[in-house]
Amino acid sequence: MTLACSCTNLSTELLNSYLGKTIGDICPHGFSDADLNHCAHFVCHVMNLAAGSVTCKGMANQAVAARIGVCIRVHELFAECPQVDEANSCSSDTFGDGRFVFVTRRNAVNLAAHSMTNVPKKHVGIGLGNTIWHYSNTQDRVVTTTPELFLYHYSGQTNGLFRGSFPDRCTPTRFGCGL
């Protein structure tokens, strides 16, 4: 167990350890209300990223003192990324060695101001290479997809696909090894 939890490099193997897991499996604080959108919550548990005005620990009724609380809001996560840009085309390595990947209405993002408006239709996953791991709200579990499909996550609007680099304090951990 110690060896399995010692890896801190983001990898396909690490991300695949979350596949099929529900947010109830992932969040140690039991913040798993099925009515909520847990996309930011999921990626921030993978990266052990506490950020934003509220965390899952702060919102939970059964918080575990020894475990950290993580960011749960997409627009607050976007603002935390040191560098953000729009992915205007996809390749076999769209996300390189790892990026947060955001999809929302294009004009909800102001790249120059490094901000995203809290519009209802927005989603985030973790991209590595050309694959995105994200929390599916309809399936209530972690799944993978491609950037081409992720771009059409929401219908009825012109979406943009945005990338955000990981803050330095991010520490990716396998499922079951969170800080």
Site residues for other proteins per CB under 8 A: 33, 35-41, 53-54, 56, 59, 72-76, 79, 110, 115, 117-123, 136-138, 153-154
Nearest approach, Cβ of residue 137 and other proteins (Å): 4
**CA distances (Å), 163 to each of 87, 94, 175, in order?**
7, 9, 23
Nearest approach, Cβ of residue 59 and other proteins (Å): 7
Write the CB contacts of 37 (distance below 8 Å, at least 6 apart in sequence): 74, 123, 137
Nearer to other proteins, 39 or 126 (CB): 39
Amino acid at the residue 172: P
Nearer to other proteins, 76 or 129 (CB): 76
Nearer to other proteins, 46 or 72 (CB): 72
How far is residue 9's CA from residue 171's CA, in Å, rounded to a whole number? Answer: 8
Nearer to other proteins, 42 or 174 (CB): 42
How far is residue 151's CA from residue 138's CA, in Å, rounded to a whole number? Answer: 17
Nearest approach, Cβ of residue 88 and other proteins (Å): 23
Asked whether the beta carbons of 68 and 50 are under 8 A apart, the reply is: yes
